[in-house]
């Protein structure tokens, strides 16, 4: 659904597509067709078994495991996938996801254009949320980096933010961002629009657009954010303190 600036949709509103011989049901929720020029966000459900090999020539990819367990086979090397694990895949690398079952493995994929900055020398393939330190974002809010420059990803930042029951002031960022609501209930405020949010809500937030996320529930809301170019999720271009 187009809003004042940007785009909002729940992944359940998008029809999944599965190629013959693949275990992956792919829902493309945000891309250029919804006004997001640089980032592409997909929600992927891997059924039990080993997926077909996939690659993104000319684009880098960050994955986040929402639920389920399995193995990322990247260029022949295995890497454990568990809930709340981020993964960084370099442009052109080939990979498959193996899910031992019986549950599906639910992942959120975001790709961004390759750049001439290359890959940092400290490249890491997987990063667990539990191993990352919490950092302050705004009063009573925190986030943890997953894939970022510390993992050798120089152009994209992937993080998980925790929002307690509250409404932050309207603010904006300098970067282009896509968001996926992991859990919690609330509302997305942008312009004069107030859009309900819940698990599976996907948001494209263009640079310099005033917005805020409100948690109207009783428990913490958790969101996955990915933005380009890389930076600090706590940074603000503008803040409305009214």
What are the tens digits of pLDDT across the range 6-25?
A: 899 999 999 999 999 999 99
Q: Indicate whether 2 belongs to any domain.
A: no
Same domain for 150 and 70? no
pLDDT for residue 208: 85
Number of domains into which the chain is organized = 2
pLDDT for residue 239: 55
> Quick check: 52 pLDDT over 70?
yes
Same domain for 20 and 47? yes
| DSSP code, position 149 | G
Q: What is the percent of the chain where pLDDT is above 70? A: 93
Where residue 219 sits, what CATH number does that domain have? 2.60.120.10
Same domain for 42 and 99? yes
- When mean pLDDT is compared across 82-86, 144-148, 210-214, 232-236, the lowest value belongs to 232-236
Vertex 137, ends 131 and 142: CA angle to 5°?
A: 40
Q: Indicate whether 8 belongs to any domain.
A: no
Same domain for 152 and 67? no
Q: How confident is the model at residue 212 (pLDDT cuts 50, 70, 90)?
A: confident
Q: Indicate whether 93 belongs to any domain.
A: yes
Does 240 or 1 have the greater pLDDT score? Answer: 1
- C-alpha span between 105 and 238 (Å, rounded): 38
For range 173-198, the mean pLDDT: 92
Q: Indicate whether 126 belongs to any domain.
A: no
Of 114, 145, 176, which residue is a domain's last? 114
For range 44-62, the mean pLDDT: 97
Same domain for 141 and 199? yes
Does 41 or 174 have the greater pLDDT score? Answer: 41
CB 31 within 8 A of CB 41: yes
Query: Which domain, by its residues, includes 166?
Result: 133-240
Tens digit of pLDDT for each residue in 231-242?
Answer: 666 565 455 555
pLDDT for residue 236: 54
Tens digit of pLDDT for each residue in 94-152?
Answer: 999 999 999 999 999 999 999 888 888 899 999 999 999 999 887 688 999 999 999 99
Tens digit of pLDDT for each residue in 87-107?
Answer: 999 999 999 999 999 999 999
Residue length of the chain: 242
Q: Indicate whether 33 belongs to any domain.
A: yes
Q: Indicate whether 6 belongs to any domain.
A: no
- C-alpha span between 41 and 202 (Å, rounded): 8
Same domain for 20 and 109? yes
Same domain for 92 and 156? no
Bond before 229 cis per omega within 30 degrees? yes
**CA distances (Å), 196 to each of 67, 81, 191, in order?**
23, 31, 14
Same domain for 90 and 185? no
CB 43 within 8 A of CB 200: yes
Of 85, 114, 143, which residue is a domain's last? 114
- C-alpha span between 72 and 99 (Å, rounded): 9
- C-alpha span between 72 and 26 (Å, rounded): 17
- When mean pLDDT is compared across 69-73, 75-79, 180-184, 232-236, the lowest value belongs to 232-236
Q: What is the percent of the chain where pLDDT is above 90? A: 75
Of 79, 114, 149, which residue is a domain's last? 114
Q: How confident is the model at residue 31 (pLDDT cuts 50, 70, 90)?
A: very high
């Amino acid at each position: 659904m187009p809003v004042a600036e940007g785009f909002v949709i729940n992944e359940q509103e998008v029809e999944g597509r599965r190629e013959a011989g693949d275990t992956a049901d792919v829902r493309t929720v945000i891309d250029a067709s919804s006004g997001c020029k640089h980032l592409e966000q997909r929600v992927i459900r891997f059924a039990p078994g080993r997926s077909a090999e996939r690659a993104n020539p000319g684009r880098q990819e960050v994955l986040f495991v929402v639920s389920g367990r399995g193995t990322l086979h990247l260029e022949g090397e295995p890497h454990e996938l568990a809930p709340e694990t981020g993964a960084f895949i370099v442009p052109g690398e080939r990979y498959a996801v193996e899910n031992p079952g019986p549950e599906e493995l639910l992942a959120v994929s975001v790709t961004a254009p390759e750049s001439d900055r290359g890959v940092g020398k400290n490249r890491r393939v997987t990063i667990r949320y539990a191993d990352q330190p919490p950092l302050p974002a705004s009063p009573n809010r925190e986030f943890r980096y997953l894939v970022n420059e510390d993992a050798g990803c120089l152009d994209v930042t992937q993080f998980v933010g925790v929002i307690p029951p509250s409404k932050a002031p309207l603010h904006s960022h300098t970067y282009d961002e896509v968001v996926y609501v992991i859990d919690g209930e609330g509302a997305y405020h942008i312009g004069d629009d107030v859009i309900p949010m819940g698990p599976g809500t996907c948001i494209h937030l263009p640079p310099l657009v005033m917005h805020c996320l409100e948690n109207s529930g009783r428990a913490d809301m958790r969101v996955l954010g990915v933005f380009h170019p890389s930076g600090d999720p706590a940074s603000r271009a503008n803040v409305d303190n009214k």
